[in-house]
Amino acid sequence: MVTPTHEASHRLFQEHPEALAPVFESLGIPPPTKSDVRPLSPDTTEIRPLERRVDTVLKFEPEMGESFLLAIEAQTKKHAEKGKSWAYYVAYLRAKYDMPVLLVAVCKDRPTAAWAAGPFECAVGAWTTQMTRPFVLGPDTVPEMTDEAMVVRNPALAALSAIVHCESRKAPAILEAVIRGLVSFDPDITGYWLEVVEVGLENTPVKEKWRTLMKTHFPGHRTMFEETYLEGKAEGQTKDRAALILRVLDKRGIDVPESIHDRITSCSDLDTLTLWFDRSLTATAAEELFAESAEDETAP
């Protein structure tokens, strides 16, 4: 299931692969730049008997050194079947692109991170045919960014730090450092990083802390994610209310001309639709929904 954490990770690593610095440092190679990495299709389905999709697949092609693929998965909890899926992803991508594959799991809590490190084995008796060992980006491998100067130098890693450590005791300090660091960026850049962190925090306890910090340092700011959610919620309410009006009129045997049907379904104002719904309960004709109120009729 796609969660906000999956979405935040997908955007973060595709658009800012420098957030993968801890992975590359462990491999003993320089951190990637955007020119080194390009996204690939995350679809690993074959003839569609069962849909399989990796969160993010990146192709790392440095000017010097070995090229390889990164298959990145956001994992919010233990899942008994995940080891099998991950083994399949690695085998499929290895065969399709003829390149070595590094599987990276992003985890927000230590128990999940310890489990995700594997190894996940395919074995018969004492003989292991295949072993999958993901590299885990979690509380023990992602630095706790509590210095705003570090946030300014690497906002991508700072955003990842805020997401990965959102359940730790240092989470409030990390969020404060991220907010203070983002103040120095242009508004558009700041808005982007505010949105990434906002989405990645999901419904964790520190999300309220994040909202409070945003109101303090960026009064009046509302992330695109929040805007989209609220707009979608309002749109859903208006559609439901319009459908209810038409249902009431139908049940009461009142004919609804096409022009009135279109007027009802195209209305985006919830207060107006509520008024029309109230009138639909007693109206004897569809046109009465739009009748002027007695107060309007007596106005000069």
Give me the residue label for tokens 């109206």: 283
Query: What are the residues facing 69 on neighbouring strands?
Result: 59, 101
* CATH class given for the domain over 4-137: alpha beta
- Tell me the domain boundaries of the chain: 4-137, 148-221, 237-298
The C-alpha atoms of residue 29 and residue 12 are separated, in whole angstroms, by 20
**3 state SS of 159:** helix
Residue 207 CB-density burial (10 A; 0-12 exposed, 13-18 middle, 19+ buried): middle
Is it true that the peptide bond before 219 is cis, omega within 30 degrees of 0?
Answer: no
Collect the ranges in the chain with pLDDT lower than 50: 1, 45-51, 224-225, 229-230, 293-300
Report which secondary-structure segment, H or E, holds 210. Answer: helix 207-217
Question: What is the pLDDT, as a whole number, of residue 112?
Answer: 95
Q: Are 89 and 54 in contact (CB under 8 A)?
A: yes
* Residue 245 token pair: 């009006």
The C-alpha atoms of residue 244 and residue 233 are separated, in whole angstroms, by 17
Question: How does pLDDT run across 88-112, given as a tens digit for each residue?
Answer: 999 999 999 999 999 999 999 999 9
Q: Are 238 and 273 in contact (CB under 8 A)?
A: yes
Query: Dihedral of the CA atoms 287, 289, 294, 299 (nearest 10)?
Result: -80
- Among candidates 22, 187, 29, which has minimal Cα distance to 113? 22
The C-alpha atoms of residue 25 and residue 72 are separated, in whole angstroms, by 17
Question: What is the pLDDT, as a whole number, of residue 104?
Answer: 95
Question: What is the pLDDT, as a whole number, of residue 225?
Answer: 47
Question: What is the pLDDT, as a whole number, of residue 229?
Answer: 46
CA angle 186, 215, 229 (to 5 degrees): 85
10 Å Cβ neighbour count for 229? 12
Q: Are 137 and 22 in contact (CB under 8 A)?
A: yes
> Which CA distances in Å does 85 have to 27, 82, 113, 187, 286?
24, 5, 17, 40, 56
Question: What is the pLDDT, as a whole number, of residue 275?
Answer: 87
Question: What is the pLDDT, as a whole number, of residue 257?
Answer: 92
The C-alpha atoms of residue 286 and residue 269 are separated, in whole angstroms, by 19
* Residue 235 token pair: 């749109």
